[in-house]
Structure 1
Amino acid sequence: MIVQWRKSSRSGGTSDEACVEVAGLSGVVGIRDSKDPDGGRLAVSGAAFGVLVEEIKRGRLDRL
């Protein structure tokens, strides 16, 4: 299976920026670090990913 990873168009495109990439997989959403594409990955349900995105948008996961 070929996986199409993509990152936000707002990421800036430089290699030194912290960014994640996501991929739609069979029944789940894959998440990985764009700076370490061969490293660890997460797989979460579409519903869990939706909650994560909403929490990010609301600023609830911002570092203090």
Structure 2
Amino acid sequence: MKLVHASIHTMKTIDGHDIWYARLGYQTARGYLGQSMLLSRLTPEMRAVAESGELMKLGKRTP
């Protein structure tokens, strides 16, 4: 499974609070798998990737 997409978004709750979360997309052998996680549950490395909006592979940027 390879991470191919990571981005940060907000969602407004019923009482008007903004919740920050990350959308992660993985390429698997059978297709694409999407996952949403609260920022507090991400590792520091995954959070940095999501905040940058760019994925790195062996020191080179991937499209």
With the length of structure 1 as denominator, give the TM-score of the two structures.
0.28
**Which structure ranks higher in relative contact order (CA pairs < 8 Å, sequence separation ≥ 6)?**
2
- In terms of fraction of residues, the more helix-rich structure is 1
With the length of structure 2 as denominator, give the TM-score of the two structures.
0.29
- In terms of fraction of residues, the more strand-rich structure is 2
